[in-house]
């Protein structure tokens, strides 16, 4: 069974800092998703990766298939980035979710 581990669980940063959230998984996957959940609860899909690196605005996601590891980076962090970031892996059709990283960016 695939285990998805995220670190850190909680992260507090000052506005402008560079942020990294990590995700490790235990079995081969077809894709990895990074999701953002705001306090209201709705989830937005940020990235879907199967290899390499993707960038969208200030967000960068990377994946190393051999090491079974992915990172989500936020450059020039802003208080509006405060949210829970969730890593989810896809294998055999369904998603397995990490427990999430709660990010708080202080002005």
Partner 1 sequence: DGGITQSPKYLFRKEGQNVTLSCEQNLNHDAMYWYRQDPGQGLRLIYYSQIVNDFQKGDIAEGYSVSREKKESFPLTVTSAQKNPTAFYLCASSSSGTGSKYGYTFGSGTRLTVV
Binding site for partner 1 (CB under 8 A): 4, 30-31, 33, 35, 40-45, 48-50, 86, 88, 90, 92-100
With CA atoms as reference, report the closest residue to 6 among 44, 32, 28.
32
CB atoms within 10 A of CB 17: 14
Q: How far is the CB of 58 from partner 1 (least distance, A)?
A: 20
Cβ of residue 101: shortest distance to partner 1, in angstroms? 12
Query: Minimum Å distance from CB 48 to partner 1?
Result: 5
Alpha-carbon distance 98 to 65, whole Å? 17
Closer to partner 1 by Cβ: residue 67 or 107 = 67
Check if the beta carbon of residue 11 is closer than 8 Å to that of residue 84.
no
């Amino acid at each position: 069974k695939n285990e998805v581990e995220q670190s850190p669980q909680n992260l507090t940063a000052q506005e402008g800092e560079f942020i990294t959230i990590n995700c490790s998984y235990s079995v081969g996957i077809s894709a990895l998703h990074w999701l953002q959940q705001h306090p209201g609860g709705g989830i937005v899909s940020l990235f879907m990766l199967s290899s390499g690196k993707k960038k969208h605005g200030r967000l960068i996601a990377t994946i190393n298939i051999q090491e079974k590891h992915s990172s989500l980076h936020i450059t020039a962090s802003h208080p509006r980035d405060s949210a829970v970031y969730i890593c989810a892996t896809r294998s055999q059709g369904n998603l397995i979710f990490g427990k999430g990283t709660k990010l708080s960016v202080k002005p």
